[in-house]
Amino acid sequence: MSRKYFGTDGIRGRVGEHPITADFVLKLGWALGRVLGRRTPHPKVLIGKDTRISGYMFESALEAGLSAAGADIGLLGPMPTPAIAYLTRTFKAQAGVVISASHNPFDDNGIKFFSGAGQKLDDALELEIEAELDVEMDTVAPDQLGKAFRIADAPGRYIEFCKSTIPSHVDLSTWKIVVDCAHGATYQIAPAVLEELGARVIPLGNQPNGLNINDRCGSTNPEALRSRVQEVGADIGIALDGDGDRVVMVDADGTLVDGDELLYIIALDQHRSGRLHGGVVGTKMTNLGLEIALSELDIPFVRSEVGDRHVNAELLRLGWQLGGESSGHILCLGATTTGDGVVSALQVLAALAATGRPSLRDMLGAMNKYPQVTINVALGAQVDRTAICALDRVCSATRDAERRLGSKGRVLLRPSGTEPVLRVMVEGEDVDLVAAVAQSLADSVRAAVV
Report the alpha-carbon angle 338-10-132, nearest 5.
125
Please tell me whether residue 335 adopts helix, strand or coil conformation. coil
The DSSP secondary structure of 172-209, one letter per residue, reads -TT-EEEEE-TTTTTTTHHHHHHHHTT-EEEEES----
- With beta carbons less than 8 A apart as the criterion, state whether 212 and 106 touch: yes
CATH entry, 372-448, from 2.40.50.100, 1.10.3720.10, 2.60.40.10, 3.30.310.50: 3.30.310.50
Residue ranges matching CATH 3.40.120.10 in the chain:
11-152, 157-255, 257-341+359-364
Residue whose C-alpha is closest to residue 376's, from 411, 422, 413: 422
* DSSP symbol at 142: G
Q: What's residue 326's pLDDT?
A: 94
Tens of pLDDT, residue by residue, the chain (450 residues): 567 899 878 999 999 999 999 999 999 999 999 999 999 999 999 999 999 999 999 999 999 999 999 999 999 999 999 999 999 999 999 999 999 999 999 999 999 999 999 999 988 999 999 999 999 999 999 999 999 999 999 999 999 999 999 999 999 999 999 999 999 999 999 999 999 999 999 999 999 999 999 999 999 999 999 999 999 999 999 999 999 999 999 999 999 999 999 999 999 999 999 999 999 999 999 999 999 999 999 999 999 998 899 999 999 999 999 999 999 999 999 999 999 999 999 999 999 999 998 899 999 988 999 999 999 999 876 777 778 888 999 999 999 999 999 988 999 998 876 678 899 999 999 999 999 999 999 999 999 887
Question: What element of type H or E holds 240?
Answer: strand 236-240
Provide the 10 A C-beta neighbour count for residue 422: 24
The domain over range 11-152 is classified in CATH as 3.40.120.10: yes
CATH entry, 257-341+359-364, from 2.40.240.20, 3.40.1160.10, 2.60.40.420, 3.40.120.10: 3.40.120.10
Strands 421-428, 409-415: pairing is antiparallel
Q: What's residue 1's pLDDT?
A: 52
Q: What's residue 31's pLDDT?
A: 98
Rounded distance, CA 256 to CA 32, Å?
41
Q: What's residue 418's pLDDT?
A: 64
pLDDT in tens, 163-213: 999 999 999 999 999 999 999 999 999 999 999 999 999 999 999 999 999
- CA dist list (Å): 67 to 11, 39, 96: 21, 16, 15
Q: What is the pTM of this model?
A: 0.93
- With beta carbons less than 8 A apart as the criterion, state whether 126 and 143 touch: no
pLDDT in tens, 394-448: 999 999 999 999 988 999 998 876 678 899 999 999 999 999 999 999 999 999 8
Q: What's residue 52's pLDDT?
A: 98
pLDDT in tens, 106-120: 999 999 999 999 999
Please tell me whether residue 13 adopts helix, strand or coil conformation. strand
The DSSP secondary structure of 383-435, one letter per residue, reads S-HHHHTTSHHHHHHHHHHHHHHGGGEEEEEEE-SSSSEEEEEEEES-HHHHH
The DSSP secondary structure of 67-114, one letter per residue, reads HHTT-EEEEEEE--HHHHHHHHHHTT-SEEEEE--TTS-TTEEEEEEE
Q: What's residue 149's pLDDT?
A: 97
Is 173 an annotated catalytic residue?
no
Residue of 102, 115, 219, 304 marked catalytic: 102
Give one word for 422, left, alpha or beta, with left for phi > 0 and alpha for psi -120 to 50: beta
Rounded distance, CA 314 to CA 304, Å?
7
Domain 157-255: give its CATH code: 3.40.120.10
